Amino acid sequence: MTRQATLRLQEGIRARMSELFDAVRGREAFDFCDAMLTLPMTITGELMGIPQEEWTVTGRATVRAMGGVDPDVSEYQRRFQLFEAHTTIMSVLGEVLESDPSADSVSGRCPATVHAVPDDERNVPLLNAYAFLMGANPTVPQTINQTLLLLAGDDDLWSWFLRQEETDQRFVDEALRWASPVNHVLRRTTVDATIGGTDVPAGSLVSAWIASADRDEEVFEDPYRFVPDRSPNPHLAFGLGVHRCIGQHVASAGIKQFLDLWRQNVRSMRLDGDPTHLISNFLNGVVSLPLAVTWK
């Protein structure tokens, strides 16, 4: 998960993403989210040792596990879909863990966590594999979805984007800030504290709204504008401190690889209909992004 290890992964990530581009090349109009359903798995699938034939079902399940996609379903249907999605994910990961995965994969390292977190009542390796997958899979595709949604409606930004030889890290960081895929995280206080003039007793649950922090006027100049070369950019899309995302370097590399491939392959694009957003207060997600594309 280090920067050095990420450099060794980039070639494989790019090759797998290129296969997705080859599958949609020439299509003048398509739903980007549907066509790129396995996009996050081009990174996490290989990292976790999940067989490629499971990437589609796992990719779909991780989106559904974060919330609903149909506003007209009943509460019972919504709960059933969430149960079905989580059951699918646990089944796939359980089979991976039982198949003696490579020690170099995330799944291969998860069994060692049982010694760090002794818990006889829960399957610690499975829960850690689940936590990694659910943390990694939304960030890359939803950052890309939100960025393409922005680029499709801003001719000046699209022109600027096309003029770049490659995607700068500053653009990736601004895309992460702008998208803030995970809306909030929950933390429990360990001591009595006062936050914003409010007393918070020890043991209280506190919701930290990342999307709000990433648009803090005291931290970011003109926070509601996408600034492609914004610097500094202390966004919190990956969290902060000891809770900072372990896969941040791999996720950033994946976003960069995709944006480079998009620039190299696409001449122009526009929205070909209204996008559909995920029904969730946890994930800032797009589940349907109809695009009209002209290829180079």
Q: What is the pLDDT of residues 105-126, one digit of tens each?
A: 788 888 877 777 677 788 888 9
CA 216, chain centre distance (Å): 22
What is the predicted pLDDT for the residue at 100? Answer: 85
**Low-confidence residues of the chain: pLDDT under 50:** none
Reading the block at residue 48, the tokens are 């976790």
What is the predicted pLDDT for the residue at 91? Answer: 95
Torsion, Cα 8 97 113 239, to 10 degrees, reads: 60
Q: Which domains does the chain have, with CATH numbers?
A: 3-295 (1.10.630.10)
Contact (CB, 8 A) for 277 and 286: yes
Helices 55-64 and 75-98 meet at what angle, rounded to 10?
140
CA 140-111-82 angle, 5° bins: 50
What is the predicted pLDDT for the residue at 2? Answer: 66
pLDDT, tens only, 136-179: 788 899 999 999 999 999 999 999 999 999 999 999 999 999 99
Tokens 């034939």 correspond to: 53
Q: How far apart are CA 61 and CA 56, in angstroms?
A: 9
What is the predicted pLDDT for the residue at 139? Answer: 87
Is residue 153 classed as helix, strand or coil in its secondary structure? coil
Instruction: Return the half-sphere exposure (C-beta side, CA atoms, 13 A cut-off) of residue 42.
Output: 24
Using only the alpha carbons of the chain, give its radius of gyration.
20
User: Quick one: which of 255, 261, 246, 18 has its CA closest to 145?
Assistant: 255
User: Quick one: which of 231, 246, 16 has its CA closest to 109?
Assistant: 246
What is the predicted pLDDT for the residue at 10? Answer: 82
Contact (CB, 8 A) for 149 and 275: yes
Beta bridge partners of 288: 276
Tokens 């995920």 correspond to: 278
Q: How far is CA 143 from CA 59, 61, 174, 195, 234, in A?
A: 15, 18, 10, 30, 16
Exposed e or buried b per residue across 12-46, where buried means at least 16 C-beta atoms within 10 angstroms of its C-beta: ebbebbbebbeebeeeeebbbbebbbbbbbbbbbb
